[in-house]
Structure 1
Amino acid sequence: MKFKLLFLHLIVISTSILSQENESKTDTLSVEKEKKLSLTVDFVSRYLWRGQCWGGNYVAVQPTIEYEVSSKLTLGFWATTNFKSDYFYPDGVTSYKGYQEIDFYATYQLNDFLQFQVWDYYWPSVEKIEGIDNGFFNYGKDGVKTVDAMLYFDFSEGYKYPFNATISTLVAGNDFRFDSNGENEKQNFTTYLELGYTFTLFEKSSIKGLQGIELDSVIGAVLNNKAGYYSYADYDKVSFCNLGIKATKEIDLRKGITMPLSLNYVHNGATQNTETFGKNFVVAGISFSY
């Protein structure tokens, strides 16, 4: 009788343990499924892209949606707008007061440090402009579409030196160069190189608010800007248009929500075409990520 009771007791315990393990696995799978989709909203004091100022000195909102198809493949959507409806400034000459952009992208992780990315940029004017076709599928010389193919090297995890590098080439879309007569347009394949290094500060500080502050330094240059795709860079030589340093502090709001705060200084080292917005920029940002 005692043996039977002991046997039944063992069965009950085993069933309980298996039930707990299954619940744990279910919770883990649920978390993994939640992680497949990530959402971010950035609020920045102005929009800069590789040392290029788009939309003037106006606050921009930038949502990002990413879906992890597999451990290597991710699909994403990114957009920016400063909610301005005027294309030109009051002087009628300076452009890009109002700016909007919608991008779709895919990233594929080739190995632990190398990622291949393809971005489809769509930057329609906020009002109708003569000579500009805002058609979404127009990749011609009067269109507002560009395809960017990138190799992104990231040695920030598992390596001694936390640096990264980007090689970007425009492979399709409105990236044409012309001869002196404005004819014989050819795809320019404008190429941009960027090197970055990350410093982590105050890791052992007793002040919790200082722990984990990151400084990201960057040096970026466009190599062959003959098509003038980089409006605020040199057209006839290598142009170091993106020299900067960015401080970031991430705050954990719990329940999977984080709030990174950032302050970014960027210097455009081009010798020409920087008169519109200047050479030096300070950009503050706050993000909410889930």
Structure 2
Amino acid sequence: MKTIKTIVVVFVALLSITAMNAQEESGASVDLGLDVQSRYIWRGLQLGGASPSLQPYVELSTGKFAFGAWGAYSTGGVSAGQEADLYATFNATDNFSITLTDYFFPVEGGAMDYLKYNGHVLELMLGYTAGDFGFTLATNIAGNADMDANGDQAYSTYAEISYGTTIGSADFGIFAGAVFMDDAGYYLTSGSGFINLGVSASKEIKISDSFSLPVNAALTVNPDAENVYLTFGFSL
């Protein structure tokens, strides 16, 4: 029960120490903004209902480390799929990274005991790139939102391979993702399945001489759930 609370406290402490040290490092930077998506599609799953999603973020980077917070909030007022996440990334090399993410799913109007076990999932993710190809492996290692019928940790695992290139003025990508050991139904499968296949594109649209708007679109198919989504978004 104390696992998530300890991790959150340690994360905030590390973020504070890093922020103070970053003031003395010329390579430190802070990035923040807001993504607006027509729907919130995550790993082939639609979260937050069939309404646009506002997704704010802030990240502090210094050296090989990055610490950040990310959120998702449905404009349709749907509680399911709302998020307030914390993450820490270690870029071991130019090609390999390790990310620890604390996913938290708040419920509007309800007390969720943030510093306890309720509503959290802790995920460990490994990322590797080789040229234009990328590979991701992510496993839930703690959290009561991914427990099976016996109350045991399910360790739901997601794997994805992707390829990206540039066509004209746009960045183009294809991706394929599958889930394993999903005994708790965290990814809404019966244990395993292909849940995230699709193509994506992004580019910048010039609005004026001093401002360009980054836009993106994706066609996502979830073969396991027999669903398909076409989404559009932009970043501020």
* TM-score (normalised: structure 1): 0.67
Greater radius of gyration (CA): 1
Cα shift at 1:252: 6.5
Unaligned runs of 5+ in 2: 1-22
Q: What residue in structure 1 maps to residue 230 of structure 2?
A: 282
Partner residue of 1:250 out of 183, 192, 204: 204
**2:74 match:** 82
2:19 is aligned to: none
TM superposition shift of 1:34: 8.8
State the shift of 1:100 in Å: 1.7
Which of 59, 76, 84 matches 1:102?
84
CA drift of 1:40 comes to 2.3
Residues 171 and 256 of structure 1: is their aligned pair in 2 closer, same or farther, counting only changes over 3 Å?
farther
- Name the counterpart of 1:177: 148
Give the equivalent residue in structure 2 for 1:37: 30
Partner deviation per Cα, 1:210-230 (whole Å, 9 max, x = no partner): x2x111111011111101111
- The 8 Å contact of residues 224 and 235 in structure 1, kept in 2 or not, is answered as no
Map of 1:235 onto structure 2 = 190
**AA paired with 1:229?**
Y
**Matched residue, 1:134:** 112
In the alignment, the residues of structure 1 paired with residue 87 and residue 209 of structure 2 have an alpha-carbon distance, to the nearest angstrom, of 27
Contact 1:43–1:59 under 8 Å retained in 2: yes
The reply on whether 1:163 has 2:133 as its aligned counterpart is: yes
Kept in 2, the 8 Å contact 1:86–1:127? The answer is no
Is it true that 1:150 corresponds to 2:141 in the alignment? no
Give the letter for the 1:286 counterpart: F
Name the CA distance, whole Å, in 2 between partners of 1:261 and 1:109.
27
Return the offset for 1:199.
2.1
Task: Tell me: CA distance 1:147–1:262, structure 2 relative to 1, closer, same or farther (3 Å).
Answer: same
Q: Which amino acid aligns with 2:89?
A: T
* Structure 1 residue 137: Cα displacement: 2.1
The answer to whether the Cα contact below 8 Å between 1:243 and 1:266 also exists between their aligned partners in 2 is: yes
Question: Residues 35 and 47 of structure 1: is their aligned pair in 2 closer, same or farther, counting only changes over 3 Å?
Answer: same
Counterpart position of 1:14: none
**Equivalent residue pairs, number:** 212
Q: CA deviation at 1:119?
A: 0.4
Q: Which has the higher strand share?
A: 2
Task: Indicate if the aligned counterparts of 1:42 and 1:285 stay in contact, CA closer than 8 A.
Answer: yes
Task: Classify 1:257/1:222 alpha carbon distance in 2 versus 1 (closer, same or farther; 3 Å).
Answer: farther
Cα gap change, 1:177/1:252 in structure 2, threshold over 3 Å: closer, same or farther? same
Shift of 1:267: 0.3
Secondary structure of the corresponding residue to residue 226 of structure 1: coil
* Structure 1 segments (4+ residues) deviating >6 Å: 252-257
1:188 to 154, 161, 178: 154
SS at 2:94 equivalent: coil
In the other structure, the counterpart of 2:98 is: 116
1:160-217 deviation per Cα after TM superposition (whole angstroms, max 9, x unaligned): xx01110000011021112xxxxx3211111100000002112xxxxxxxx2x11111
CA distance in 2, matches of 1:170, 1:193: 12
Do the aligned partners of 2:154 and 2:184 also contact (CA within 8 Å) in 1?
yes
- Judged with a 3 Å threshold, the aligned counterparts in structure 2 of structure 1 residues 144 and 256 are, in CA distance, closer, same or farther, namely farther
Q: What are the ranges of 5 or more consecutive residues in structure 1 without an aligned counterpart?
A: 1-29, 88-95, 179-183, 203-210
Q: Say if 2:200 and 2:216, in contact at 8 Å, map to a contact too.
A: yes
Q: Using a 3 Å threshold, how does the CA distance of structure 1 residues 46 and 126 change in structure 2: closer, same or farther?
A: same
